Amino acid sequence: MGTTEDESATRNLITGAARISGGVIQAGAIHGTVHLHGAGPAAAPPPVPQQLPPPTGPFVGRRAELAALGELRGGPADCRRLIVVNGPAGVGKTALVLAWVRSLAADCPDGLLYADLRGHAPGGPAPAGETLGALLRAFGVERVPGAPAEAAALWRSVSAGRRIALVLDNALTAAQVRQLLPGSQSALVVVASRNRLSGLGVDGAVFQPLGLLDESAAAEILTRRIGPARAGREPEAVREVAAHCGGLALAVSLVAARVAARPRLTLAATAASLASDSERLTALRVDGEPAVRSALDASCGGLVPGVRRLYQLLGLLPFTDFSTEDAAVLTGAAFADADALLDELAEANLIEDLGTGRFRFHDLVRLHARDQVRGELAKDEQDAVLRRILEWYLATATAAERLLTPNHATLRRDHTCPPAAPPFGAADSQAALRWLDQERGHLLEGVRAAAAHGWFPLGWQLVDAMYPLFHRLRAFELQDEAHRLGLAAARRADDPAALARMLTDGGGRLRNLGRPEEAIRRYQEALELAQADGDAKAEAQALHGIGQAHLLAGRLAEATRCFREDLALRLSVGYARGAALTRVVLGDVALAQRRPDLALPELTVAYQTLMDIGEPYEAARALAHLGRAHTALGDHQAAERVLDQAADLFRSTGSPTWEARTLELHGELAEAREASQQALDCYEASLARYQALGAPDVQRLTAKLDRLREAPPAPAPAPEPAPAPASEPASAPD
């Protein structure tokens, strides 16, 4: 943006490269004071994704293949290309793809994305919802739809028009890739797979098979890794070692790392050791692929005992990537000692350092480590190690649950040994939330592992501890499987309290997914259990859930009846928080019935109670509905006051969905005042936030904006029966 002056005028010029944010006024002249009202400062945009794993060193060889990929890309810059690089395991597909895509960074200004689809991992391929959730969060979408089809549609919308490169590593099937394709015609998608994935031909894919390295390329890699001076002293041995590696880039890298780490080990001795085992090098296989086990055996043979033991124990993990904390728990070592052991494994190219305090196995290396530990430890010892790491995840998730949703953390936890301390402070709720976000996939893998081993109490307790992940982080892509496994585990454990919790939490999940009838069936079973046990508090909780499901289905009379019974039970047992939450919903129902006069007293009492007991988030919900009631009663000044209070509380408690909802309520207030432009501004700001969250409320806001833009100014319609944003549970009453 620039300014030019002549003798009579000043003009502001906005060029095509300029970007404008915040409040803007276009005018010839302005006299007096200007006030801007609306959404407040815009949230900072997320950084441009740069997700490719860091290179482990200079990329060597494969010149012809790199050139071939360049030719396959071809075409105009804005033409989408889908390229599949396929070949046997360990041949170097991932290294080739990453090196090539890194070279294209300047052509992809909107980001370089990476997803490991885990096509051959022991636990099965990555679920579509998990991968789509990671891709959407990379562009600032905080709420991912639970249904994979909806998440895929949102991903296509979010990626539309973006010039990105997406690497899909370890793909298993064409269908797995197809649902992850972006919506941009300017996107480049590169897939690495052991399979040919010929079915992607109908999607316009082109294919680059990757064969074994020739001996000269293998020798070049070995020379670069160990240094030309050392290789130059034994040129014949370099060729022999390269030949014994069978053309697999993984085998070459492992042998090179072993030699590089041992300056006194000659290449001739290395070649002799490989030659003496040449039959095994050719015949022994890991997951059907030749030449790797022997190289891995040789690499592991040179490890010191502590490093070797960690390598073996890591093979017992139910997931492919892991942290230093995981290593410390497995070995019982201090964090610094575990970090040093991992450095040794990374130096030997047995694990990959992801550059963020996390590491991962190549699929074949992980299988080798698992075979090694099964040869060293008895089955009960292996189970004890796995149980130890799962109990650490349980203890850490429970610590986060107590920080983030303390009223939910009421059920017992069983530990066979004292767990290690969590990696965040006892009062650091933001760090706890980050840990849950980072470990969401591992927690679900832990639930699966517990189910597979018949550790049913551990299984339902893990699901129970994941509650803040669903309530605060909207991890709906994990919730369906987690609650299904948790409910099955609670039934098998024959634990009434656990079963009641899994039923009510699962009912809340179904309600939030817009499936009220299924939710009622879960809540009804929980109600019958509570009545049989004479547990009035649990009975009220089940009735509360049934009422919420009726409210979602539009059955207001049935909802009111359930909430009145619920309120009476909670008052009878002195459960002040639960009673206040029920009053919030009763006020909401009264608003839906066009009775703001009945809503006002319920919401006022609820707000005061929740503030008195230190529940600012829930108190803010009561204030938001109070604002709706004051708007409906025509008390616009009171409405503005309480909505401003609600917005401040939602910002302080970190609730972006309710921040968007409060902006929407400000728009309704502006409509009631017949301030159409202000209403438009508020609705547009609310819509932008809902879109960033991937919330289903977008449709409702779009309709409101269309109505305002097309119709002349008029008084606002009566408040809509919207008890809570569709993307956020109404409350956490436990």
Task: Report the pLDDT value the prediction gives residue 34, as an integer from 0 to 100.
Answer: 52
Chain centroid to Cα 669, Å, comes to 36
Give the mean pLDDT of 391-404.
95
More confident residue, 348 or 265: 265
Give the mean pLDDT of 584-593.
94
Q: Over 60: is that where the pLDDT of 514 sits?
A: yes
Confidence of residue 176 (pLDDT cuts 50, 70, 90): very high
Count other Cβ atoms within 10 Å, centred on residue 612.
Answer: 11
Confidence of residue 474 (pLDDT cuts 50, 70, 90): confident
Count other Cβ atoms within 10 Å, centred on residue 227.
Answer: 12
In contact, 78 and 188? CB cutoff 8 Å? no
Task: Report the pLDDT value the prediction gives residue 43, as an integer from 0 to 100.
Answer: 58
Which segments of 135-237 are extended strands (E)?
A: 165-171, 188-193, 205-209
Contact partners, residue 598, CB within 8 Å, separation at least 6: 587, 590
Count other Cβ atoms within 10 Å, centred on residue 706.
Answer: 10
pLDDT digits (tens, 9 = 90+) for 409-461: 999 999 988 888 888 888 888 899 899 999 999 999 999 999 999 999 999 99
Strands 10-13 and 2-5 turn out to be: antiparallel
Consecutive H or E run containing 360: strand 358-360
Give the mean pLDDT of 95-124.
91
CA pair distance 42, 81, nearest whole angstrom: 35
Look-up: residue for tokens 């480049």? 188
Least confident of 63-77, 173-187, 329-343, 390-404: 63-77
Look-up: residue for tokens 């919900």? 621
Residue 547 tokens, joined: 């009422």
Task: Report the pLDDT value the prediction gives residue 656, as an integer from 0 to 100.
Answer: 81
CA pair distance 521, 566, nearest whole angstrom: 17
Residue 679 tokens, joined: 């209403």
> pTM of this prediction?
0.73
CA pair distance 222, 211, nearest whole angstrom: 18
Average pLDDT, the chain: 85
Task: Report the pLDDT value the prediction gives residue 513, as an integer from 0 to 100.
Answer: 79
Q: What is the DSSP letter of 377?
A: S
Consecutive H or E run containing 289: strand 289-290
Give the mean pLDDT of 545-562.
94
Confidence of residue 722 (pLDDT cuts 50, 70, 90): very low
Confidence of residue 361 (pLDDT cuts 50, 70, 90): confident
Q: In 3D, which of 471, 499, 510, 493 has the Cα closest to residue 653? A: 471
Q: What is the DSSP letter of 234?
A: -
Beta-bridge partners for 358: 323
Consecutive H or E run containing 328: helix 324-331
> What residue type is assigned to position 203 of the chain?
D
pLDDT digits (tens, 9 = 90+) for 37-93: 544 455 567 899 999 998 877 788 788 899 999 888 876 555 668 999 988 778 889
Confidence of residue 274 (pLDDT cuts 50, 70, 90): confident
> What residue type is assigned to position 357 of the chain?
G
Burial class from Cβ neighbours inside 10 Å (0-12, 13-18, 19+) for residue 711 reads exposed
Can you tell me whether residue 640 is helix, strand or coil?
helix
CA pair distance 439, 437, nearest whole angstrom: 6
Q: What angle, 0 to 180 degrees and rounded to 10, lies between the N-to-C axes of helices 656-672 and 698-710?
A: 20
Domains 507-574 and 582-591+600-734 share a fold: yes
pLDDT digits (tens, 9 = 90+) for 15-51: 444 444 455 555 555 555 555 454 445 556 789 999 9
Angle at 679 between CA 673 and CA 684, to 5 degrees: 170
Residue 179 tokens, joined: 């649902």
In contact, 372 and 300? CB cutoff 8 Å? yes
Q: In 3D, which of 375, 385, 315 has the Cα closest to residue 345? A: 315
Domain 305-377: which CATH number of 3.20.20.150, 3.40.50.2300, 1.10.10.10, 1.20.120.1150: 1.10.10.10
Count other Cβ atoms within 10 Å, centred on residue 240.
Answer: 19
pLDDT digits (tens, 9 = 90+) for 248-265: 788 888 888 888 888 888
Most confident segment among 248-252, 473-477, 500-504: 500-504
CA atoms within 13 A on the CB side of 385: 24
Least confident of 306-320, 649-663, 717-731: 717-731
Write the CA distances from 147 to 144, 173, 594, integer angstroms: 9, 20, 34
CA pair distance 83, 145, nearest whole angstrom: 28
Q: Over 90: is that where the pLDDT of 597 sits?
A: yes
Q: Over 70: is that where the pLDDT of 733 sits?
A: no
Give the mean pLDDT of 483-493.
95
Look-up: residue for tokens 């002056």? 5
B/e letters for 263-273, b = 16+ CB within 10 Å, e = fewer, are eeeebeebbeb
Task: Report the pLDDT value the prediction gives residue 207, as an integer from 0 to 100.
Answer: 93
Give the mean pLDDT of 347-369.
82
Give the mean pLDDT of 507-520.
89
**Size of the chain, expressed as the number of residues it contains:** 734
Q: Where are the domains of the chain?
A: 63-209, 215-301, 305-377, 385-468, 507-574, 582-591+600-734
Dihedral over alpha carbons 502, 507, 510, 514 (to 10 degrees): -160
Task: Report the pLDDT value the prediction gives residue 259, as an integer from 0 to 100.
Answer: 86
Can you tell me whether residue 113 is helix, strand or coil?
strand
In contact, 504 and 526? CB cutoff 8 Å? yes
Confidence of residue 636 (pLDDT cuts 50, 70, 90): very high
CA pair distance 454, 25, nearest whole angstrom: 65
Q: Over 90: is that where the pLDDT of 721 sits?
A: no
Least confident of 190-199, 446-455, 568-577: 190-199
CATH architecture, range 507-574: Alpha Horseshoe (1.25)
Measured over the CA atoms of residue 326, residue 327, residue 332 and residue 334, the dihedral's sign is negative
Rg over CA atoms, the chain: 30
Q: Over 90: is that where the pLDDT of 670 sits?
A: yes
Count other Cβ atoms within 10 Å, centred on residue 410.
Answer: 12
Question: Is domain 582-591+600-734 classified as CATH 1.10.287.1080?
Answer: no
Q: What is the DSSP letter of 69?
A: H
Give the mean pLDDT of 106-110.
93
Contact partners, residue 21, CB within 8 Å, separation at least 6: 42
Domain 63-209: which CATH number of 3.40.50.300, 3.20.20.10, 2.40.40.20, 3.30.1330.60: 3.40.50.300
